[in-house]
């Protein structure tokens, strides 16, 4: 199985942003799926999370997340849906470019829970992709937009992240390996398909 790549990250960003654009006229103040956050806040959080992943790798810190004194990037509660879609594609391109520019032997912190761990640049597209695909689903669910990523893309993401420790945090569990990788990712993260 090929790892989840920069090309896959670009595909997820285009898929999520494209789906969001089909619902620009919908009410983005409604909850995002089963979350208590609105679709706008969830989309804004996702953009911030993907930007943070890019910062983690760019910082090359290995002891903890970089301390910026606040959020890396947020459009705020009044963000327009079209701006959220554009920002998502932009931060995905930033992450992709930083991955490309980083030598493979470089290590940087990729998460701190349940314990701090460093990884090389090849793991950062999957880290950003997981944020995008799951929160993209949340927003699309809240907006009533169908969102089913390609099975092969989900399969690469599921396999790439299968042994990652974050699946052991409360509400999450290691993805099962059935013939439906999208449903496996959703269920493993505590979401419904």
pLDDT per residue as tens digits for the range 138-193: 999 999 999 999 999 999 999 998 877 766 666 666 666 789 999 989 988 888 76
pLDDT per residue as tens digits for the range 20-60: 999 999 999 999 999 999 999 999 999 999 999 999 999 99
In the predicted model, what is the mean pLDDT of residues 10-14? Answer: 97
| Residue 32 covered by a domain | yes
pLDDT per residue as tens digits for the range 34-45: 999 999 999 999
76: left (phi over 0), alpha (psi -120 to 50) or beta: left
pTM score: 0.91
CA atoms within 13 A on the CB side of 76: 1
Is residue 48 a contact partner of residue 72, using CB atoms and an 8 Å limit?
Answer: yes
| Residue 189 covered by a domain | no
| Residue 137 covered by a domain | yes
| Residue 177 covered by a domain | no
CA dist., res. 185 & res. 148, Å (int): 12
| Residue 158 covered by a domain | no
CA dist., res. 128 & res. 92, Å (int): 8
Q: What DSSP state is assigned to residue 118?
A: E
Q: How many domains does the chain have?
A: 1
Looking at residue 127, its pLDDT comes to: 95
Looking up tokens 């890396």 gives 72
Indicate the burial class of 187 (C-beta count within 10 angstroms; 0-12, 13-18, 19 or more). middle
CATH of the domain at 103: 1.20.120.450
| Residue 187 covered by a domain | no
CA dist., res. 127 & res. 111, Å (int): 9
Q: What domain range includes position 132?
A: 6-149
Looking at residue 193, its pLDDT comes to: 67
| Residue 160 covered by a domain | no
Bridge partners, residue 119, by sequence: 108
| pLDDT of 101 over the 60 cut | yes
Write out the H or E segment, with its range, that includes residue 117.
strand 117-119
Is residue 33 a contact partner of residue 136, using CB atoms and an 8 Å limit?
Answer: no
Q: Which two tokens stand for residue 59?
A: 């910082």
| Residue 184 covered by a domain | no
């Amino acid at each position: 199985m090929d790892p989840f790549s920069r090309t896959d990250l670009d595909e997820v960003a285009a898929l999520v942003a494209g789906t969001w654009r089909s619902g620009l006229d919908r009410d983005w103040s409604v909850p995002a799926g089963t979350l208590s956050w609105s679709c706008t806040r969830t989309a804004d959080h996702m953009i911030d999370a993907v930007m943070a992943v890019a910062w983690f790798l760019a910082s090359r810190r290995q002891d903890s997340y970089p301390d910026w004194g606040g959020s890396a990037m947020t459009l705020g509660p009044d963000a327009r849906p079209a701006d959220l879609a554009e920002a998502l594609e932009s931060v995905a391109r930033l992450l992709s470019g930083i991955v490309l520019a980083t030598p493979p032997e470089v290590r940087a912190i990729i998460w701190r829970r349940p314990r701090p761990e460093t990884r090389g640049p090849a793991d950062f597209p999957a880290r950003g992709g997981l944020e995008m695909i799951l929160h993209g689903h949340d927003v699309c669910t809240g907006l009533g937009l169908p969102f089913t990523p390609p099975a092969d893309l989900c399969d690469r993401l599921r396999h790439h992240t299968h042994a990652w420790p974050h699946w052991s945090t409360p509400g999450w569990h290691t993805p099962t390996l059935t013939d439906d990788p999208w449903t496996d990712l959703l269920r493993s993260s505590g979401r419904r398909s």
